[in-house]
Structure 1
Amino acid sequence: MKNFKNKVAAITGAGSGMGRELAIQLAEQGCHLALSDVNESGLAETVRIVKNRNNSVIITNQKLDVADRSAVFQWASQAAKDHGKVNLIFNNAGIAFGSTIEGFEEKDFKRVIDINFWGVVHGTQAFLPYLKTSGEGHVINTSSVFGIIAVPGTSAYNASKFAVRGFTETLRQELDVMKCGVSATSVHPGGIQTAIAKSSQINESLKSLGLDPSHAKDKMAAQFITTPKKAASMILKGVRKNSRRVLIGPDAGFADLMQRIFPGAYQVLVGKLLLRRMR
């Protein structure tokens, strides 16, 4: 897919951050949009911004919890009906949660997995038939730098993003074998300046790691160095190049390199470095 003009893109988590920037940049390139988010006010703001940038593209929007499998399939069916086709699905929605493994409750861990991983699975399965029918499709799944390396205090997030990476790499291999006109890319952002850190849940168990839960969100957000605009641009470039993996930000590039060079020892280095900076 060398350009996005007159294509149709579905985006989850479009109410803010990377999802909003993807919508803006795709619309500027003539791409029609099916947008979704659990946050209706944020989604409405994205629609308003996009229409101001390019009022000629067709935009539909839907309040959606990606953990709800039937709702995701209904949205995919409606998007294909409204637009006549769907070429791209950006499974971008996600949440974060801070806790030690000893300290989390099952419901909190499960919610992260349901959104970050199962949301990607639901979106992929729901839209894949429509992407194949379009004759030119692409699945873009958002993993994380924490789908390449693990860090202390974010076991649920790490688990979900490692799962997205494995799922997407398997998907890409299957699509390559099928030669069906559809491809897939795994996206690994480093620290992106979005609201995910400040909106994350943090529990008191982080005190056992020497962290102050009341300041953990601000400390984490301070490490985020890449803008959503830059991230969206890199993702779309990766789609045009049909990249298997897109690393976003110098921190993601460094983490990937460190994991390749020190596949075991990186755990000691990252744990000490990150905790020291967070403290």
Structure 2
Amino acid sequence: MADRMRLRDRCAVITGAGNGIGAALAHRLAERGCHLALADIRPHDLEATRMSIRERLGDASPPVSLHTLDVADRDSVAALPEAVAERHSRVDLLINNAGVALGGTFEQSSEADFDWLMEINLLGLVRMTRAFLPLLHESDDARLVNISSLFGLIAPPGQTAYSAAKFGVRGFSNALAEELKRSTVGVTVVHPGGIRTGIAQRARAPQGASNAQVEREQKRFERLLRMPPARAAEIIVDAIERRKRRVLVGSDAKVLALVERLMPVGYPAIVERLAR
């Protein structure tokens, strides 16, 4: 096996590919000649991603297929590998990127909203992994890439559901990597910090919150989202090529990961001061 993973003429499945990090990853992989099976719950966003790739690369654009998908829908996830196989001869890369956010504390969050987030951010990722592992095992050099978060390393207040899911992604990925280490399937878990995506605007608000409260929280959160998705995608794709097990994206993720390791109980006070 080569020192670096060769991406040209391989095929990548990307969830949440209609915007943000997912769309940026599609661009970076297309530039490297990787074929793409793009999945998202919003078909018009998927089409926009495909069109922007074509506009950028022209005749050099690789084959791209679009798949409308809700990762919380078990039947849709189970049917996706066959749909992808009909359009592509292989699957070498699965990037589980789809995710949502939920505002409010645990007591402000309804059970239905908490379960909604877990179904997408954790269980959807697990379902996608289970569905595509047989195809990944058929590849001579495959990789599973799971997008966790900075909040899979630290757990701030107001992020109980999101942190529970992203810590779950981290644990699942690390254990699976050990189980697969003698196979041709490698595992990478990614912890992005503040990436400038639309996740804050699309976050589900807690029940009973006023419009003013929701807007205030969105603006506070958006101040922390600084890195352009294109830069985050370049870091992630480089890590895939280098077969890295863990990727910290952004100086905030790197600094806070270190702080948490040094002060696993006392780090919240430092995080609070940094946020101010």
TM-score computed with the length of structure 1 as normaliser: 0.93
Equivalence for 1:219: 220
CA shift for structure 1 position 213: 3.1
CA shift for structure 1 position 39: 1.1
1:273, 1:134 → 2: CA distance?
44
Equivalence for 2:268: 267
Equivalence for 1:50: 53
- The SS at the match of 1:11 is strand
Equivalence for 2:238: 237
1:87, 1:205 → 2: CA distance?
45
CA shift for structure 1 position 204: 6.1
- Report Cα offsets for 1:201-230 as digits up to 9, x if no partner: 2226789xxx94331112111111111001
| Aligned equivalent of 1:164, options 161, 169, 181 | 169
**Structure 2 residue runs without a partner (length 5+):** none
Shift in alpha-carbon separation, 1:173–1:206, aligned structure 2, 3 A: farther
- Report Cα offsets for 1:5-33 as digits up to 9, x if no partner: 00000000000011001111111111100
Equivalence for 1:93: 98
Say if 2:188 and 2:243, in contact at 8 Å, map to a contact too. yes
CA shift for structure 1 position 187: 0.4
1:148 counterpart = 2:153: yes
1:61 counterpart = 2:62: no
- Report Cα offsets for 1:104-157 as digits up to 9, x if no partner: 101100011000001110111111110110121100000000000000111100
Overall identity of the aligned pairs, in %: 40
| Aligned equivalent of 2:140, options 127, 132, 135 | 135
Say if 2:110 and 2:206, in contact at 8 Å, map to a contact too. no
Say if 1:28 and 1:53, in contact at 8 Å, map to a contact too. no
Give the residue type in structure 1 aligned to 2:149: S
Say if 2:104 and 2:205, in contact at 8 Å, map to a contact too. yes
**Structure 1 residue runs without a partner (length 5+):** none
1:16, 1:32 → 2: CA distance?
18
Size of the aligned set, in residue pairs, is 270
Say if 2:95 and 2:144, in contact at 8 Å, map to a contact too. yes
| Aligned equivalent of 2:193, options 190, 193, 201 | 190
1:216, 1:62 → 2: CA distance?
33
2:180, 2:56 → 1: CA distance?
34
Equivalence for 1:200: 203
Equivalence for 2:40: 37
- The SS at the match of 2:78 is helix
| Aligned equivalent of 1:18, options 16, 21, 24 | 21
Give the residue type in structure 1 aligned to 2:104: S
| Aligned equivalent of 1:114, options 116, 119, 123 | 119
Say if 2:5 and 2:141, in contact at 8 Å, map to a contact too. no
Equivalence for 2:110: 105
2:78, 2:111 → 1: CA distance?
26
CA shift for structure 1 position 172: 0.6
1:184, 1:132 → 2: CA distance?
12
CA shift for structure 1 position 267: 2.2
Runs of 4+ in 1 over 4 A off after TM superposition: 204-207
2:139, 2:5 → 1: CA distance?
15
CA shift for structure 1 position 273: 4.4
Say if 2:110 and 2:207, in contact at 8 Å, map to a contact too. no
1:213, 1:18 → 2: CA distance?
24
2:201, 2:213 → 1: CA distance?
14
Equivalence for 2:12: 9
**What is the aligned-residue RMSD (CA, Å)?**
1.6
Say if 1:98 and 1:206, in contact at 8 Å, map to a contact too. no
- The SS at the match of 2:257 is helix
